């Protein structure tokens, strides 16, 4: 293993080397830094890095801790004390976080080293990272395509071997979908499993932070570190945290996997469909039983999600008023002009669209027709899942109906972009957990574009979906296939 090859390692393998003292945390960090210098000019996954601070951490890292000496990339919506936290928005340009989010404190307590902040759709609103107010991020499998979003920088960094693992956030799919489009693992915990303290809120009843990694085991390792009660977040449940690696390796005999019939929609790209069909067949050979189930409210999920998420966003984003954080309009005539121009200049078009939508659905006269009704249908969606989970342990579907699309291709059609959240956003509405794991490729214009298989589990049953995803992953080679840009860096 040369230093140049270190960034290709997954977290579990990196840890073994670190614990055997075959490499030092400093060497690991230096190798990662060199890799980022080599590839990030093309991929543009990072908004900021701080290797000076990270080096100090690396020099005193305790490699015997669960993530001791492992550098982790952080989506720029999560507060890391002293570092920029811009949510890729012009309105937060220059803002630095004053404290560590709980997930960062927990990562540090486990020995991990946060060293850089990754690009994203502005305030996590989007599915392609093209809504970033800073720059585009490119998909490491085909640089003319999007990495997915909104945690696209985190996904692209891991896929390019420019991060060993990363944190993202998922409000309607933003961990799972970019993981699928970038050919890596993305894990969304159940609502209340991981603290939201120190995350910039998009939609508070839906947001969860979670890992993006090269393997399922790595996702379990990060979950071991970040899950658990936090008195600073009243929505974070006080439930014991199991060792998520403990169930890995068990076989799938007796496991019941549900196939929601409403998810077999026409819009699924044929190559995605065949990859999913093959994955289902593979899960059957591993001993799982496939059961047809129904989620009757599926048709309403996107509408409900985009009513509730925008309503909550319009309230959450009211705090960006130019008084306390970031951008402030120059020479305002009066207070209203100050608010108006600060927000006009600071927010990008998608964020404005959502604030307007959210304000509308909450306004008197429309509240009952939209917001209140959406809340009622949300409860029906939750019941759909509860009923399905009476029959099966886990649900399976594609993560995204399509593989990575071309940069710019969908920017003029927000509705088309929203509709592609059909398989991911219902899980957030129901508060359940989900994972995307690589399950094949779609060949397009001479490029191999990754396809993701989604597994959804009951609330607080994260161990179960990790177990099944791991068994599937280990029976395939998909996770071993690196993106072309990562492979080109190999010192073979
Ligand atoms: N694509 C969805 C949206 O635009 C999900 C975003 C997210 O999970 N943060 O809202």
Question: Distance between alpha carbon 294 and the CA centroid of its chain, in Å?
Answer: 26
Of 174, 186, 302, the residue with max ligand 1 atoms within 8 A of its CB, to mutate for a pocket test, comes to: 174
For residue 422, give Cα distances in angstroms to 40, 176, 415, 447, 459. 31, 12, 12, 25, 19
Query: For 218, how many CA atoms within 13 A lie in the half-sphere containing its CB?
Result: 29
What is the rounded distance in angstroms from the CA atom of residue 274 to the CA atom of residue 129? 27
Ligand 1 site, residue 125, Cβ cutoff 6 A: yes
Which of 124, 152, 186, when mutated, tests ligand 1's pocket best, judged by the most ligand atoms within 8 Å of its CB? 124
Tens of pLDDT, residue by residue over 281-317, are: 999 999 999 999 999 999 999 999 999 999 999 999 9
User: What would the two tokens of residue 396 be?
Assistant: 């399976």
ω into 150 cis (within 30 of 0): yes
Q: Please say whether the beta carbons of 325 and 93 come within 8 A.
A: no
Integer angstrom CA distances of residue 430 from 88, 389, 401: 28, 12, 20
Q: What is the radius of gyration, based on Cα positions, of the chain?
A: 21
- The pLDDT of residue 325 is 83
Report the Cα–Cα distance between both ends of the chain, in Å, rounded.
Answer: 10
Tell me how far CA of residue 454 lies from CA of 37, 183, 488, in angstroms. Answer: 33, 12, 29
182, 396, 418, 436, 491 from 400: Cα distances, Å: 12, 12, 11, 9, 33
Taking only the tens of pLDDT, the chain with its 492 residues reads 788 899 999 999 999 999 999 999 999 999 999 999 999 999 999 999 999 999 999 999 999 999 999 999 999 999 999 999 999 999 999 999 999 999 999 999 999 999 999 999 999 999 999 999 999 999 999 999 999 999 999 999 999 999 999 999 999 999 999 999 999 999 999 999 999 999 999 999 999 999 999 999 999 999 999 999 999 999 999 999 999 999 899 999 999 999 999 998 888 999 999 999 999 999 999 999 999 999 999 999 999 999 999 999 999 999 999 998 889 999 999 999 999 999 999 999 999 999 999 999 999 999 999 999 999 999 999 999 999 999 999 999 999 999 999 999 999 899 989 999 999 999 999 999 999 999 999 999 889 999 999 999 999 999 999 999 999 999 999 999 999 999 998 765
Residue 16 CA to ligand 1 centre (angstroms):
36
**How many helical (H) and strand (E) elements, i.e. helices and strands, does the chain have?**
16, 11
Distance CA(32)–CA(473), nearest Å, equals: 25
Q: Cα dihedral sign for 3, 8, 11, 15? A: negative
Percent helix, strand, coil in the chain (nearest 5)? Answer: 40, 15, 40
Q: Answer yes or no: is the C-beta of 150 below 6 A from any ligand 1 atom.
A: yes
Please name the helix (run of DSSP H) or strand (run of DSSP E) that holds residue 283, with its range, or none: helix 270-285
- The answer to whether the CB of 374 falls within 8 A of the CB of 361 is yes
Nearest CA residue ID for atom 5, ligand 1 = 172
Assigned fold of 3-295+381-490: Amidase signature (AS) enzymes (3.90.1300)
Tell me, in angstroms, the distance from the centre of ligand 1 to residue 417's CA.
10
The residue extents of the domains of the chain are 3-295+381-490
User: Is the minimum distance from the CB of 111 to ligand 1 under 6 angstroms?
Assistant: no
Does ligand 1 lie within 6 Å of residue 172's CB atom?
yes
Query: Which residue minimizes the CA distance to atom 4 of ligand 1?
Result: 126
**Closest listed residue to residue 118, CA positions, set 135, 94, 141, 100:** 135
Nearest to 465 by CA among 207, 219, 235, 150: 219
**Which H or E element spans position 444?**
strand 433-444
Compute the distance from residue 114 Cα to the ligand 1 centre, in Å. Answer: 24
Distance between CA atoms of 165 and 70, rounded to whole angstroms?
9
pTM exceeds 0.95: yes
Please state, in angstroms and rounded to a whole number, the distance separating the CA atoms of residues 490 and 492. Answer: 6
Report pLDDT for 491.
Answer: 61
> What pLDDT, on a 0 to 100 scale, did the predictor assign at position 29?
98
Other CB atoms within a 10 A radius of the CB of residue 20 amount to 9
**Residue 314 corresponds to which tokens in the numbers above?**
């319009």
Is there an atom of ligand 1 within 6 Å of 170 CB? yes
- 126 CB near ligand 1 (under 6 Å): yes
Cis preceding-peptide flag for 272 (omega within 30 of 0) = no
Burial label for 38, CB within 10 Å (0-12, 13-18, 19+), is middle
Closest ligand 1 atom, residue 174 Cα: 8
- 309 Cβ closer than 6 Å to some ligand 1 atom: yes
User: In whole angstroms, what is the distance from residue 111 CA to residue 94 CA?
Assistant: 28
Token duo for residue 301: 């999920």
């Amino acid at each position: 293993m040369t230093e140049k090859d270190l960034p290709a390692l997954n977290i579990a393998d990196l840890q073994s080397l670190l614990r055997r003292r075959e490499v030092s945390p400093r060497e690991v960090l230096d190798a990662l830094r060199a890799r980022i210098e080599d590839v990030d000019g093309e991929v543009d996954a990072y908004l900021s890095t701080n290797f000076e601070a990270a080096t100090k951490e690396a020099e005193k890292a305790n490699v015997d801790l669960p993530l001791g000496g492992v550098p982790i990339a952080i989506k720029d919506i999560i507060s890391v004390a002293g570092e920029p936290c811009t949510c890729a928005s012009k309105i937060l340009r220059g803002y630095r976080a004053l404290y560590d989010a709980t997930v960062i404190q927990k990562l540090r307590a486990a020995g991990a080293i946060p060293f850089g902040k990754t690009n994203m759709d502005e305030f996590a609103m989007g599915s392609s990272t093209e809504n970033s107010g800073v720059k585009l991020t490119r998909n490491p499998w085909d640089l003319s395509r999007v990495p997915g979003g909104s945690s696209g920088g985190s996904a692209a960094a891991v896929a390019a071997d420019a991060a060993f693992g990363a944190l993202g956030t998922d409000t309607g799919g933003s961990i799972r979908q970019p993981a699928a489009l970038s050919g890596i693992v993305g894990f969304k915990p159940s609502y209340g499993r991981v603290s939201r303290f120190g995350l910039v809120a998009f939609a508070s009843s839906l947001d969860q932070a979670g890992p993006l990694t090269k393997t399922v085991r790595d996702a379990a390792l990060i979950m071991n570190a970040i899950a658990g009660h936090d008195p600073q977040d009243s929505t974070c449940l006080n439930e014991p945290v199991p060792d998520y690696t403990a169930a890995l390796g068990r076989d799938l005999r007796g496991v019941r996997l549900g196939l929601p019939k409403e998810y077999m929609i026409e819009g699924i790209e044929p190559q995605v469909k065949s990859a999913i069909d093959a994955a289902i067949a593979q899960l059957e050979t591993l001993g799982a039983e496939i059961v047809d189930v129904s989620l009757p409210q599926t048709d309403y999920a996107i509408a409900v999600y985009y009513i509730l998420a925008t309503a909550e966003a319009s309230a959450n984003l009211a705090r960006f008023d130019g008084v306390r954080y970031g951008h402030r309009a120059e020479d305002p005539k009066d207070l209203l002009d100050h608010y108006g121009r600060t927000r006009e200049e600071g927010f990008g078009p998608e964020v404005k669209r959502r604030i307007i939508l959210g304000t509308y659905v909450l306004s008197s006269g429309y509240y009952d027709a939209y917001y209140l009704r959406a809340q009622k249908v949300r409860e029906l969606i939750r019941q759909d899942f509860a009923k399905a989970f009476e029959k099966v342990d886990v649900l399976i579907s594609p993560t995204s109906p399509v593989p990575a699309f071309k940069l710019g291709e969908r920017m003029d059609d927000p509705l088309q972009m929203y509709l592609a959240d059909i398989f991911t956003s219902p899980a957030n509405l129901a508060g359940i957990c989900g994972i995307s794991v690589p399950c094949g490729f779609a060949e397009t214009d001479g490029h191999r574009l990754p396809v993701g298989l989604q597994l959804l589990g009951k609330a607080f049953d994260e161990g179960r979906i990790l177990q099944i995803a791991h068994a599937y992953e280990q029976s395939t080679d998909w996770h071993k296939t690196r993106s072309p840009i990562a492979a080109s860096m190999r010192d073979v």
